[in-house]
Structure 1
Amino acid sequence: MAILTAIFTKTQAQTNTNSLESVYSYNRSKLGKVQFKFSSLAYVRNNEYFNNIADGYTLFGYYLNPKVAYQPHEKVSIELGGFARKEFGTAGFKEIQPTFTIQVKQNDWRFLFGNIEGNINHRMIEPLMSFERLVSAPLEHGAQIKYQKTTTLKNSNVSDEVFFDLWLDWQRSTSPGQTNQESFWNGLSFYSPALLVKGFKVKGLVQGSIYHAGGQNIQSALPVVTRVNTALGVRIQKDFLTNQSLVADNYYVGYYESPYRGTAYYLNGYWQHPKFQVGVSYWFGHFFYAPMGNDLFQSYSRKFNSQGYYEPYRSILILRLVKDWKIIDGLNISLRAEPHYDVQNGKFEHSEGLYVKYQLH
């Protein structure tokens, strides 16, 4: 069904995004001391799309997030900072916001309140959450519970990571008498412990999200909206040679919004080499919709001049090419190209991006 790109223990269903994820660190020597932390991302992403579902455009810019951190206790950390995002070709900054996070750690569990570890850190499949949110929606506000633990499988030297992420991203607030709706996005991402079966590592993958827009006693003619998305999958991974793997990730994906329903199959195969990644993905969706998902996978158009347009079936074959460089500790560069063939419409399209991430912690 799919033959896909290799992935280490920290992986996603499309390609490995470790080099661009936020890195959590705990240093006992920093206890009771004020620390300076800093993260930034410079990016250029070009989408060359010519269909009636998704717009083509280019995103080019950077964002900065300097922070001051303090650990009053070995289980508690507090961060306060500022966020600024600049898009080239526009005057001033596109976004300026304060950031604040309080984090409580208990063994391998972490609870975050304030600015949470969002976008690609959720490790959601792209039909449910677009990779592009890394640059278009880098900040998420709310609460989050995370669990990450890497162990060695019994009677072997094979390492495995269990991953759990439950979050609430509060996107917009309202109050009685206002005309705007409140909206939030609640999600779950879970990678189960693996089983070793005749040299193959097998694990279950569960993802889901709820998007809700509404509110009580507000003056809005818009209907209350609740959209539910689910994804159930299985990963089969075979490691070989030195730091190389073949991985197959296959998902059954769902969409529900009374009275509408949609389903999809998302099949992925990867080979990960220490110097690059190569992957193939196939998507077949029927009346599918996910509010935070990549536009290409949707049955209902998001194009600015195609409101009301839809395609009952979406069939897409994607080639994924990734090259990552680690320049120094904390500084990573990722080059990504994703040409695809829109089977239903007989179109070849493509997107590519260059991302430079720096994190001081």
Structure 2
Amino acid sequence: MMNGFFNWIFFCTAFLLTVLQKTQAQTNTSTLEDTFSYNASKLGKVQFRFSALTFVRNNEYFNNIADGYTLFGYYLNPKVSYQPHEKVSLELGAFARKEFGTKGFKELQPTFTLQIKQNNWRFLFGNIEGNINHRMIEPMMSFERLVSNPLEHGVQVKYQKISRLKKTNTDDETYFDAWLDWQRSTSPGQTNQEYFWQGMSFYSPAVEVAGFKLKALAQSSVYHMGGQNIQSLQPVRTLINTAVGVRVQKDFLTNQSLVADNYVVNYFESPLRGSAYYLNGYWQHPKFQVGVSYWFGHYFSSPMGNDLFQSYSRKFKYDEYYEPYRSILILRLVKDWKVIDGLNVSLRVEPHYDVQNGKFEHSEGLYVKYQLH
């Protein structure tokens, strides 16, 4: 099994590198993130904005922790925007999500966002910039939420600042995101619990040390299920996850980098506890990105995280199953194309080896995102 795994890694790497030699690309996930810019020339004017994503994601999983399935469809979010002030923006729109092979829309909702900008800070109320925009690690927030749970509702505070590193010609981004996603409400006498998710993601300014760029990384997540004076037999639960890490980056040649992101991750839900190590190494090239990740978890659980990293099964009809240890080696092959301004394509191929169970599995995804501002 292990020999077959490494043969497959070699084949995927060789194939992707052959394809990529004649194409242009970005080297991170920013092409799939939501972007917003204040435009002083649009003050007092009504603008039409539009966001759409077409996706196909295939998960070939054969373990007892995560189900295998395919997601294939699109979502649309046309919006009308108005800036009454240079620091204030209002957006009103409609969101529709369609999964192929089903009748009608999977999701159909109105959207509204009030946004206030102060220097490098932004404050959002209503529909916030969710899923991959939080820049969380996969064990704590699955990349798949981009297509399965694209909308988040609540309040958000974001800080983003681009600055030039001293004595270098490279830019560095400081990033902070704190949010509250209110997923389900309840009221006294009701039988359903309220669900909400609050989190924080932080990337510190980089420091140059002996030719290496160092950056501190910190993330936290709190998921609560409960409510007061409700008639529910379900227990009140609060699940807490934290991750602290460091990024080490070495730039070389022309716009190429070797990056290592390493985390210590924790889980707490009284009286349960879990922990993990999450190690990542990437080669960032102007045309592609190749990475290797290793996950070693012990009784770990995260409600928003990718199913593969959990110790407690989420597979259909395996509710009581768990694995105290999860050990996974992942190869990540990423290719992004910028077709025109606002239109981006992202290809992701992620074979992995389940060390504990001796299983080779894989997932692939193709995402086409369009944003009109």
Q: Which amino acid in the other structure matches residue 175 of structure 2?
A: F
Deviation at 1:16, TM superposition (A): 2.1
**Structure 1 stretch displaced more, 105-114 or 15-24:** 15-24
| Distance in 2 (alpha carbons) for counterparts of 1:194 and 1:275 | 24
Instruction: Determine the structure 2 residue equivalent to 1:343.
Output: 355
Instruction: Determine the structure 1 residue equivalent to 2:299.
Output: 287
Q: Deviations over 1:122-143 (max 9, x none)?
A: 0000000000000000000000
Deviation at 1:27, TM superposition (A): 1.0
| Distance in 2 (alpha carbons) for counterparts of 1:174 and 1:216 | 9
| Distance in 2 (alpha carbons) for counterparts of 1:156 and 1:332 | 30
Instruction: Determine the structure 1 residue equivalent to 2:128.
Output: 116
| Distance in 2 (alpha carbons) for counterparts of 1:156 and 1:18 | 23
Given candidates 236, 253, 257, the residue that maps to 1:224 is: 236
Deviation at 1:208, TM superposition (A): 0.3
Deviation at 1:343, TM superposition (A): 0.1
| Distance in 2 (alpha carbons) for counterparts of 1:133 and 1:266 | 20
Q: Deviations over 1:291-349 (max 9, x none)?
A: 00000000000001111100000000000001110000000000100000000000000
Given candidates 271, 276, 282, the residue that maps to 1:259 is: 271
Structure 2 residue ranges without an equivalent (≥5): 1-26
Given candidates 62, 81, 92, the residue that maps to 2:93 is: 81
Q: Deviations over 1:39-97 (max 9, x none)?
A: 00000000000000000000000000000000000000000000000000000001000
3-state SS in 1 of match to 2:297: strand
| Distance in 2 (alpha carbons) for counterparts of 1:113 and 1:23 | 16
With a CA cutoff of 8 Å and minimum separation of 6, indicate the structure with the bigger relative contact order.
1
3-state SS in 1 of match to 2:133: helix
Instruction: Confirm or deny that 1:90 pairs with 2:112.
Output: no
Provide the aligned length of Structure 1 versus Structure 2. Answer: 347
Deviation at 1:242, TM superposition (A): 1.4
Given candidates 309, 330, 334, the residue that maps to 2:342 is: 330
Deviation at 1:290, TM superposition (A): 0.2
Q: What does residue range 1-361 of structure 1 map to in structure 2 within 5 Å?
A: 16-361=28-373
CA RMSD of aligned residues (A): 0.7
| Distance in 2 (alpha carbons) for counterparts of 1:30 and 1:190 | 31
Deviation at 1:155, TM superposition (A): 2.8
Structure 1 residue ranges without an equivalent (≥5): 1-14
Instruction: Give the number of the structure whose residues are more often helix, by fraction.
Output: 2
3-state SS in 1 of match to 2:223: strand
| Distance in 2 (alpha carbons) for counterparts of 1:151 and 1:277 | 24
TM-score if structure 1 supplies the norm length? 0.95
Deviation at 1:288, TM superposition (A): 0.1
Q: Which amino acid in the other structure matches residue 295 of structure 1?
A: D
3-state SS in 1 of match to 2:147: helix
